[in-house]
A and B are shown apart, each in its own frame.
Chain A
Amino acid sequence: MSEPVVPETPQVPEPEAPSGPYVYDYAASPQRQIVMPKTVPLPSLRTYQAEVKAAAEADEAKWVKMQADFETAKAKAEAEGKDAPKPPVRPVPRKDDNDMKTPWPQEAKDADLLRLQECLGAKVEEIFEQAGELTCQVAKESILEALQLCRQDAQLNYEMLADETATHYPAATGFAFSVVYHLTSISRRKRLRLRILVPEGFQPETACAVYPGANWMEREIYDMLGIRFANHPDMTRILCPEDWEGYPLRKDYPTVGLGQRDIAFREDRGGMLERIALQKAGQLGINLKQPKAD
């Protein structure tokens, strides 16, 4: 069970603001502020149904309370001999006049999802449809099994792994990331989304054995979010330099990086001064060696 990760703001000396009007105020930049999410926007039929039920109950309770208030007010008014107050009208939700129709999660009716549930049994945690897309959430230990089933089963036959990515949910309890696999069946013209929820430190099984194309996508997930995949042939960073610190797409990482604006340059036109030697890439990608003071 992982607690919501409270970000430790590293103590980085602010770069000194050079004079001149053109300098962008980095300290005040909205990109620098970390806003931790408070909710867990994980679409799920179960939570949606619970929300709808809770909302209906609250609505009903409000209505009952309004009626009770009316009764007491009426009794009070009668006792005092005044005119009776207006009976309450149940408020109807306001209808917006626009072309938007929010897609809500719906019961799974598609044959593929039912087939997955039939084959995997209790390993399937949830199936639902939303916005015309099929989602199947499986247990995190049995993702490889589910992928193999999708690839090899004659009725499913999802040949291509279109995309694999992950999302960070720091506010959630019980898990920290969701990893989603988007499968495409070229022959059947269908798409399917598999989803697992993984806690911090858990290493899900790699999909490279079933879909070799997952290699780089999993490296990107590791680079950006810090989820390591078990049995992956080459679990190294792909976009950031090898010695980059932190995982940028986590919610506790600021958009403007940590202490990265300290590149200094000294004009060295003729090559007569001491050359500014390039060092091995430092902590944050680049470290230009300062020239010695004369």
Chain B
Amino acid sequence: MNKILRTLIPFDIAKGLAITGKHFAKVFFTANRRKVPFHIVSEYPEVVAKVQPRFRGRLTLLKDEQGEIKCVCCLACEKICPTQVITIEKGKKEGRKMPFPVRYDFEMERCIFCEFCVESCGFDSIILNHQFELAAYNREDFSLGMVGAENMFEPSNVGKFSVADD
């Protein structure tokens, strides 16, 4: 008899709904009282996504104050890269003592964003910026580099963590 009653009257559904409702009420009221947004859903396309300072995005070459590329072709990043996505061609430039990268190719399609290159760089000439909106229609678009790529050199518009800041 008890069993039939339990089957007939949906206690469990009521219980589950009660928990959900209690939870909703709790969150709703506390949020209202503290004047904080109570939803946890991020409104990504409308609101810019916040990433942590150490987030690893796309590789970017840096320039110094004079607008010179900082990279001096020590090839440390090329050697340490676990997936061999960096190719550097050494060269010379007039009026510059240090070697100058004639080509700095970065195949983003294979990159795993491990930041080993930045770690190995002794001249602070590369960073991984905060850019994560990298989708494209063609695989060719992921082949970035000094030859034929536009914003490979620009520092990211988002401030990037550096060890000195800590």
Contact = CB atoms under 8 A, between A and B. Distances in A.
Q: Do A and B come from one complex?
A: yes
Interface of A: 20-22, 24, 29-30
B115 interface: no
B109 interface: yes
Given A21-B140, A21-B143, A29-B84, 12 more contacts: A20-B139, A20-B140, A21-B148, A22-B107, A22-B109, A22-B139, A22-B140, A22-B142, A22-B143, A24-B107, A24-B110, A30-B84
15 contacts: A20-B139, A20-B140, A21-B140, A21-B143, A21-B148, A22-B107, A22-B109, A22-B139, A22-B140, A22-B142, A22-B143, A24-B107, A24-B110, A29-B84, A30-B84
Nearest to A30: B84
Interface in B79-115: 84, 107, 109-110
Contacts of B142: 22
Contacts of A21: 140, 143, 148
Contacts of B143: 21-22
Q: Is the interface of B mostly helix, strand, loop or mixed?
A: mixed
Interface of B: 84, 107, 109-110, 139-140, 142-143, 148
Nearest to A20: B140
Contacts of A29: 84
A20, A21, A29: residue with the most chain B Cβ atoms closer than 10 Å: A21
Nearest to B87: A25
Contacts of A22: 107, 109, 139-140, 142-143
A268 B102 CA distance: 42
A24 B110 CA distance: 9
Contacts of A24: 107, 110
Contacts of B84: 29-30
B31 to A, nearest CB: 48
A113 B110 CA distance: 48
B88 to A, nearest CB: 15
A279 to B, nearest CB: 27
Contacts of A20: 139-140
A22 to B, nearest CB: 5
A255 to B, nearest CB: 12
A144 to B, nearest CB: 41
A30 B84 CA distance: 9
B59 to A, nearest CB: 16
B109 to A, nearest CB: 6
Max chain B CB contacts within 10 Å: which of A20, A22, A29, A30?
Answer: A22
Nearest to B109: A22
A172 B139 CA distance: 45
Which 8 A-B pairs give the minimum distances between C-beta atoms? A22-B143, A21-B143, A22-B139, A22-B140, A20-B140, A21-B140, A22-B109, A22-B142
A262 B78 CA distance: 29
A30 B140 CA distance: 23
B4 to A, nearest CB: 47
Contacts of B109: 22
Nearest to B139: A22
A29 B107 CA distance: 14
Contacts of A30: 84
Contacts of B140: 20-22
A89 B107 CA distance: 55
B142 to A, nearest CB: 6
A75 B45 CA distance: 89
A24 to B, nearest CB: 7
A267 B12 CA distance: 52
A21 B106 CA distance: 11
A35 B110 CA distance: 24
A286 to B, nearest CB: 21
B83 to A, nearest CB: 10
A30 B87 CA distance: 13
A21 B105 CA distance: 10
Contacts of B139: 20, 22
A31 to B, nearest CB: 8
Contacts of B110: 24
A22 B84 CA distance: 13
A20 B148 CA distance: 13
A21 B140 CA distance: 7
A30 to B, nearest CB: 7
